[in-house]
Structure formats: structure tokens, C-alpha cells
Structure 1
């Protein structure tokens, strides 16, 4: 590259790497992602900083933990005075553009982007913040999540989610075909393969006879559940509606694989336009996701879990002119903002809690430091953390016994080694990352204090019929041929 590089950041939603051919699992056909990995750097142990949409994306934007920004759940904002990678790149001379979902909550619907090419798919208010379920109501659940994972509700068709991604994609292609002369940052963020698993027919039929491995369930699986697991079994309604039968598991995995290929084809079209416009050799291309998806593993669905299928994400970065590589050292989506600011030569106004991966992208060794993911919000409402370092991973929900797994010997996270004297030093070291690095009591109080305040604002906004949902500034009279 002989000039300031453009940056294309492509984000999928809820895309676990354990279903992707490009990540070493011959299930969803992702030829474009595989080609990107072959010419770029693939981080094979990348994690979300929080396994839920809004908090994960707040970390992606700011490089800060959710417990630093106070963005705990899908109804939480973060301060507009916190610099994001979009602010830093704007100040470096980039035109910063967003097409698609970023799930900003609150009045700031740009957070440093110059403009958005379409609105968001989800509400901008605080309405997706919930207390714990009523323990005296055995039928209480947050949403009726389970039906989205049952075979009768999965298959070929069309959805609002697909409609949104088609608009997101069209606007992104339109932008690339008329890209500015100066450097640009284009973030393209699709909502698929997030459920519902309603799939364009041609993609659904591609997986009609596909060999889709189903999860393994030990006979004593239910006895191995942690307090965190049990809270979300009830939260999702899985204690009343099962998703464990082979028909449901096969349908959800077929739907996921088909939608993952749909997103992969979108990536391919973006790259084709970069080539057509002569931009590819001067454009950094990044592909990732906000978090993963359990897809029936351990009998669980959705995100929020700190197990691997929910916490791990794909992360591929292609910088033209750098050598392809595969890096196994654990990293975080939290590292991406510092990396982008580093690429743009920007000095940080406040230290980020992620680190720049730029030295590793240039071939330097990447230190193995603890990688942290956290979830404290709806469904559990108490501090919960994951720490990964080397082969070892700890999951800790405040007030409950920890779980400790060796992912090299136990990739399925079945053998809890917590309390094993032979690994006591490892357990103590990982636990201290959490207890010494975070004020657990303060986080626990803040989660509840914020909830009460947001409920007051929600009620007033409903009464006033006000909203912050983004409206695209678009003058149709100035489009196309008018002279």
C-alpha cells in the first residue's frame, strides 16, 4: 500500500465459528471467508467481550469493557463523550460510514460515524432491559425464545431480518461504487445469521441433505448445569419447551448454515466491487461477529452464555501486502478499536482496555494475556465473567462456584476442574483476574440501579410518544437524473 488504506469492516450477527468451513468446521460453506482467511490473518481463538448484542458492540466501538461503560444489556447506552474508533478515524481524515446494524441505544445514533446509510433494525430506547423473572410464577419467561429453534418454525421463506440485510447490502455496494477519493471506513453490519432461521429458498435447499453434526448430550448433562445455565434455561423457556430432539437440532443447524452462506455471499459481492473499482489493493478488510450462538450445544440456545459456542467469534484481518497467518493466541473483539486507531496513527485520549493487534498482523509475536468476557444483565443480574489464557478458561458467576476447563483436553467444556488441587494455582490466578480487576459489588449494584432509572424514562417516552430511532437524511428529489 502506497497511501492511507481504506477500511472495510464487515460484521455478522450471532455467528459462531464452530459452524463455518472457513474456521475449520466443514458445515456452512463459506468460500469467500475462506479466501479472505487465505490471504489475511485469522485469529482462531477470538472472543466477544460480552456475549450479547449491545454490550458487545459497545466494546467493539470503544475498546472498553462493558463494566467500564456501564453497558450491561440490550437496553443500555454508553456515554457519547467516550471516543470510538469512528471518532479516531474521522480525526485521521477518514470518511466514516455505517450501513446496517450497530444497535446503538440512546440519543446518540452515530457515535462518531459521519452518517448511516440506513436505519437500525432494533429500537433505540431502553425498552430491552428486564429484571429477573418472578420466582413465584412458574410460567414466567422473558421472550418465548424456544419456538425460534423448533423445526416447525424454521425453513424457506422471507423475513424482516432478510429485508434489512438486503437494504444494508445494497446501500454498502452503492457506496463502494461511488467511493470518495480520500480514505474511507465503511462498516457493513448484517443481522444474519441471527434467528429467526427463515432462509431464502435457494440457500435452504443447498443444505437439504447436508451432513450437519448434532450436539452430544451426556446422560448427566442437566446435573452439570451451573446457576448461570439454569437461570437462562428458565429465561428462554427451555424448562417448558424442549429443543433437544434431533428434528429441532437439525432444522436450527440447517437454518444457521444456510444463513451463514447467505452472509458469506454478501461478503463476496463486497469484495468483487472493491476489485471492480480498483480499491482492493489499498483496502484493509476485516470480518468478525459480535458474539456466537449455542445452537443446542449443552441443551442451550441463543447467546448470553460464556461457553465457547456463544463466546467465540470469527476474526479475520486482511492487510494488503502483509503475509497470511493463523494466530492461535486468544484475542478479543475488544482489541479491534485499538488496532484501527493504531492503523490510522491516532493517539488515544484515554487508554483502551483492548490492545492493538497491528504488531501481530505484521508478524511480531503476540503475548498471551488474559482475555475477558463479561455478562451481568438481563436474566442473571449479577456479575459474571469468563477468563481465557492459554489452554485454560474460567467461568465465574458472582456468588456461585467457578467452572474451570482445559480447552485443549476438554474442548466441549464438560470436565470442570475447579477445586482440583493439581490445578489450584491456575484456578487462583484466573480468579484473581476477575476479583482483583473488577469491583464486583459495584457492578452488581449498578445493574439494578440503572434498571430502575431506565424504567422511569421508558414510561415517560411511551407517554410522550418520543423515540431516538435513526432517520436517514435522504432527499429523493436530488437522486438520479433531475436535469
Structure 2
């Protein structure tokens, strides 16, 4: 230990895995797995009684489950940039993969970590908006996506066919409602290829300190999976999310999703709304199986005892809640993401601490004994990993057409036009009743507004501007 620290001081850097934080669990490796468009509420370990996610449920039983993890960007590009740089907006000078690489780790990307167009970059096998400085090596996983031969559906247009011609694909307006159910074992799919490559890299670098980031693209549309993954979820048995009459009346227009029943053909096809859930569940279960393949190999190689595992998603997703579809708004189904951290030497558990995706970077840095760069805006979650009753922040912030702030009790949204929403998440977790105008809530609105302004100033968050 003394030799490692001495070498660190002598050479002005950090020896991979050096115990600079004596009270932290020490790790040699990092396995960082990111799903795409995955809402927390759909996983078994987060309470879903329908979706089959045995591998993530097993990981949850061996790690810390964060009940209240929130994204900072509400769609792929800003969210992924945010957690890779631990910045609310914009890029810093040192990203997460680069930080580990510069401290002697083999750093590799498999699949989508920074933003890639799905399906465009997946079909082409291209890098998207990847940041090359992050990686020692990087690998793309291509696939046919909507062009996979099989039973194709464009559910908002009520089209069902096995013809390959005329399918909605890259940059086409209805691609968000596409599913493909086909006969096969899934080995032709990008996520299966990513898992296979990740397994190869674990085998090749098992003796090296490594930072391995694996980006799985499902359940992002098009929701493509072999037939056997659809079969457990017959659409006739799907229960749509509860709804209330005139739900949008107390939601400001800037809070309305761009895709919703009133303005999209999906609103005319209630049965196809259920089929969207079937396809989403199928894609999630297929993704879960790929996570299991990677984790099983980690166990087989004997690497679990020195590898920190993080599983999360870039943001959540609407599947008919409030009549909304997709992402890019500031409501709970979009903002809340799954986050599971399994760290050698630390007990499994479940925490209600409020956390952000920005917190991943400093947490992994501390666990590995690396200095946390000053530019990082997230907070290390090591105290919470050691004691699930601990907290490191009072609230989580998310950005889209304004700001959302989430505390243990309240969800408060202030849009760029100064319109507002406030929800009591203890009494109204589905966010059906906007209580921002209630006289008895004036004090809490003022308090949350002040907290939002303080955080915005501290973190240099610019609303209505790109950074």
C-alpha cells in the first residue's frame, strides 16, 4: 500500500487500484452496463409483476438498488454526455473512460455509450457521437433492426406484414412504433453481439485492470427480438397504465409530450397500445438475458470479487402514461432510471437516497482509489453504498424545456415560460394532480424554487440554451 502511494506521489499520477481512500471498498476493475430507453418501473427488482428480468433481479440481490435515481438529460445524447463527463450540461476536459485509461486501465467500449442513432448507426455499424479519447479500444455492434426478416408491425399505423419493403427505419416519422417478432436465437441482434464481444474482452483482459463499458440498445425502438421473448406477454393480457379524465388540463403545454394520443395515430388503436407494451417487455427480457451472459462470464472467470458493476439506463420512457409516448419531458416515467451497483466487500441493499447519473463518475473513481477531478459535478455515492440510510444530496435535477427538481416528497417542474407543476410523490406517485396552485403549497414552491435557483447557479445550468 505504501509503495503504491509513494509511486503515485513520485510520478504525479495514480496507480490503478491504489488505495488513496483507505475507508473505501477497493476494486481492481469496472463493468459499466447501460441499457437504452429503460424505465425503472418495468424491472422485476423495481416492482413490475409482469416483465421477466431474472438476471437484473439477481444482480439487484447482490448489489445496492437505488430506488430514486434520476437522469439529467431526458433523451440519449444529453444524458449520456452528462454521465460520462459528470456535468449537467456540456463537456468537461476529462471523461469517465479517459480518466480510468490515463490511470493505467484498459478502457473499452462495446456498443452504445455516447449517443448513437438507433437504428441508423446500428445498421451502419458507425460510431455516432462517440468520444475516442475515452477508450483504448472500441467496438460497434451492427444489426438489421427493423429490416430483420420476420413479423413486422408499425403499431401506430396499424400495419402488420412480413414483407421487407416499406418498413419504417432511420429518420422515418413512425419508426418509434415498430416491432419485429422473428424466428431465431437472437445471435444476429446487436445486443447479443455486444454481450459476446464483452465476454471476449473479459477473457482477454482478466489479468489487467479494466474499465469495460457495454451499451445495450434495447428496449430502444425498433423493438426487435426472437419470437420466444414475445410469447410470455400476450397483448390481450396487458393492463395499460391507469388514466384519469382530462389528465392534461393541469399540465402546462411545455410539459406535454410531443408524441401523445391526441396527435398521433397510436391514440386510435387501443389494442396496439397494448402491443407496444408486449414489444417493450420482449425487448427488455432479451436485453436482460444479455446482461446475464456477461455477468455469468464475470463469475466464471473469478472476477466478481474485484470488479465493481454498475447497471443503469440513460433515461426512462412513456408507454401511454398521461397519454404520452417516448421520452423528452420532465415527468417521473422519463426521469427515473434503474441504477444497481454491486461492489466487492459492500453489503447488498436498497436505498431511498436521491441520486443522479452524474454521480456514477465520482463513485467509481473513489471506489478505484482514483482522484475525483475538480470539474466533476456529481457526488460520490460511496457513503450510501456503505450505509443505505445515508444521503449525499437533498434533490436531483433534470433538464428539458426548463428544470425539474425531485426530493423525497416532491416533484417540482419550472418551465422556460415560468409555468409550473408540483406533485406530492407520497400521495400521488403517478402525478395525476398538479398542486402548484394550492395555497397551502406556496411555501414549499418557494423553497423548491430557491433550491433550484441555487443549484442552477452553482452548476452553471443554462436553461433555454445549448452548451
State the match for 2:189 in structure 1: 163
Instruction: Give the secondary-structure state (helix, strand or coil) at the position aligned to 1:334.
Output: helix
Cα 1:111–1:60, aligned 2, differ >3 Å: closer, same or farther? farther
Stretch deviating more after TM superposition (41-50 or 276-285): 276-285
Q: How does 1:44-59 map to 2 (within 5 A)?
A: 44-59=67-82
Cα 1:366–1:161, aligned 2, differ >3 Å: closer, same or farther? farther
Q: How does 1:250-261 map to 2 (within 5 A)?
A: 250-261=274-285
1:372 pairs with 2:394: no
Q: Distance in 2 between matches of 1:293 and 1:3?
A: 35
Q: How does 1:314-353 map to 2 (within 5 A)?
A: 314-353=338-377
- Decide which of 110, 114, 120 is 1:103's aligned counterpart: 114
More strand per residue: 2
State the match for 2:136 in structure 1: 114
- Shift in Å, 1:323: 1.0
State the match for 2:88 in structure 1: 65
Q: Distance in 2 between matches of 1:32 and 1:303?
A: 25
Instruction: Give the secondary-structure state (helix, strand or coil) at the position aligned to 2:107.
Output: strand
Q: Distance in 2 between matches of 1:144 and 1:221?
A: 30
Cα 1:28–1:237, aligned 2, differ >3 Å: closer, same or farther? closer
State the match for 1:74 in structure 2: none
- Shift in Å, 1:212: 3.0
Cα 1:355–1:277, aligned 2, differ >3 Å: closer, same or farther? same
State the match for 2:453 in structure 1: 435
Cα 1:441–1:11, aligned 2, differ >3 Å: closer, same or farther? closer
- Shift in Å, 1:32: 0.9
- Shift in Å, 1:197: 2.2
Is the 1:16–1:309 contact (alpha carbons within 8 Å) kept by the matching residues of 2? yes
Q: How does 1:71-470 map to 2 (within 5 A)?
A: 78=91, 82-104=93-115, 109-118=131-140, 148-149=176-177, 153-157=178-182, 163-208=189-234, 211-230=237-256, 232-233=258-259, 239-243=263-267, 245-363=269-387, 365-375=390-400, 383-438=401-456, 443=462, 446-447=465-466
Q: Structure 2: which 5+ runs fail to align? A: 1-16, 18-24, 117-127, 144-169
Cα 1:231–1:46, aligned 2, differ >3 Å: closer, same or farther? closer
Normalising to structure 1: TM-score of the pair?
A: 0.77
- Shift in Å, 1:258: 1.0
Q: Distance in 2 between matches of 1:324 and 1:335?
A: 19
- Shift in Å, 1:443: 3.3
Cα 1:367–1:177, aligned 2, differ >3 Å: closer, same or farther? closer
- Shift in Å, 1:171: 1.1
The one-character-per-residue Cα deviations of 1:36-80 (angstroms, maximum 9, x if unpaired) are 1111100011111111001100111011102xx1xxxxxxxx4xx
Q: Distance in 1 between matches of 2:231 and 2:132?
A: 38
Q: Structure 1: which 5+ runs fail to align? A: 70-77, 122-141, 376-382, 451-483
Instruction: Give the secondary-structure state (helix, strand or coil) at the position aligned to 1:405.
Output: strand
Instruction: Give the secondary-structure state (helix, strand or coil) at the position aligned to 1:242.
Output: helix
Normalising to structure 2: TM-score of the pair?
A: 0.79
Query: RMSD between aligned alpha carbons?
Result: 3.0
Q: Distance in 2 between matches of 1:325 and 1:270?
A: 22
Is the 1:146–1:241 contact (alpha carbons within 8 Å) kept by the matching residues of 2? no
Cα 1:444–1:309, aligned 2, differ >3 Å: closer, same or farther? closer
Stretch deviating more after TM superposition (191-200 or 261-270): 191-200
Q: How many residues align?
A: 405
